Structure 1
Amino acid sequence: MRIALFVTCVNDTLFPGTGRAVVTLLERLGHTVEFPQEQTCCAQMHFNTGYRPESLPLVERFARVFVGYDAIVTPSASCAAMIRHNHPVLAAQLGGAALRDAVAAVVPAVHELTEFLVDVLGVTDVGAAFPHRVTYHPTCHSLRGVRLEDRPLRLLRAVKGIELVELPGADSCCGFGGTFALKNADTSTTMLADKMSRVLGTGAEVLCAADNSCLMHIGGGLDRLNSGVRVMHLAEILATTEGAP
């Protein structure tokens, strides 16, 4: 199987360790991962802010760069949702027949990481070991955009040594929402405070999620509180073999 990593611009710029964790994880499972050097943004930021014509060159680029791969794996439910749902919309509305065909050929190969592990590779125990108390925040895009359901939790439950605790009100938004946090700062801050209170109530050492954008938002708030709770992308926990033989 020819596998490509779509790392996303947020991870590439701010959280490169997440991309490295995906490669470590998939290589441990016996797969070779390619990293197309020409990749860039999926255009979600442009699309969500109303700049649809400006999004089109990024859609074209994605289809060109990732053509021919059997699987395109991304550690971002948010970006996976953008590509699967909105690239075909942009191609249909603003592109020609060639782009529509190119997008239609590439989009079915796009998988969020946990989907790829559980549905395509058929594994839940990836050989991880992480002896810490962890709680999981299902981001809005993972819940409603790509509908990950319990895939992340199934993977986490198979991690050796982990103490996985339920997050109350887990399906509520953390208040990030990209530019929402900038344009509606007061509302976003209130939502963040609610989410942090619930995280702290679990007594967890680590909060994990499938999107670093939300972890950046929650993690920033937890740092300002000097809470001692750290945030980690799910891929980083699954790539860890802490304390394993």
Structure 2
Amino acid sequence: MTNDKLKNILNAIKDGSMDVDQGMEQLRDLPYQDIGHTKIDHHRSLRNGFPEVIYGAGKTPQQLVDIFEHMCGRSNILATRVSPESAEYVSSRFPQVEYNDTAGTLTCKSEEISYSSGMVGIITAGTSDLNVAEEAQVTCDMLGSRAEIISDIGVAGIHRLFDRIDAIRRFSVLIVVAGMEGALSSVIGGLVDQPIIAVPTSVGYGANFSGLSALLGMLTSCASGITVVNIDNGFGAACAACKINKAIDS
């Protein structure tokens, strides 16, 4: 349920084109719909501007299908961390969904998306960070921000970053994705004035500790104004970037 949908229902009741019982039927699942294994929050977008997102990891293919059945037609759907096996099963029931196998996302668009004016730049240190970057890009698209990925411009070949710095400065918000020691966000933070959301990834050799070294490096950055999300959390970074874009527009 979006603000526009709620207004349409209330206006329809007001002008008599919809009776009260019909309006109650459309609002009956406030504040959530209990389908047994899951309680679907159809009205989340009324509170924070974004519809509920499905976290696919740990859910069975049938549970995902059940959730899609109750969300389809009511809002756009984004599911993250979806395995290829689960995606195939859901797609067999809902052929309109799209699966991004790099990002591990399933999406279903039943409503037109209203986009913010700002553009999100998603910068990766290496090609191995693309799964997290694409999760962020898909999330941005579903939540109303256009996003572009610039990949493989990490500090191991810093001239590649300098070649793209003018393009990077044109974005309204930056998501910087890096593993290993996570230095890219600090370097970019010293070169630009946009908000930066840093995403440490689990890419790296043993002393990387599955992303902990990148996380700590980003948290202790001497470049001011960098915000850091959890390891591999492209989704969370995209949510923050979209909220910044919406605030810029308001």
Is the strand fraction higher in 1 or 2? Answer: 2
Report the TM-score range of the alignment, normalised by the length of the smaller protein.
0.3 to 0.5
Which protein shows a greater Rg? 2
Say which structure, 1 or 2, has more relative contact order (CA 8 Å, 6+ apart): 1
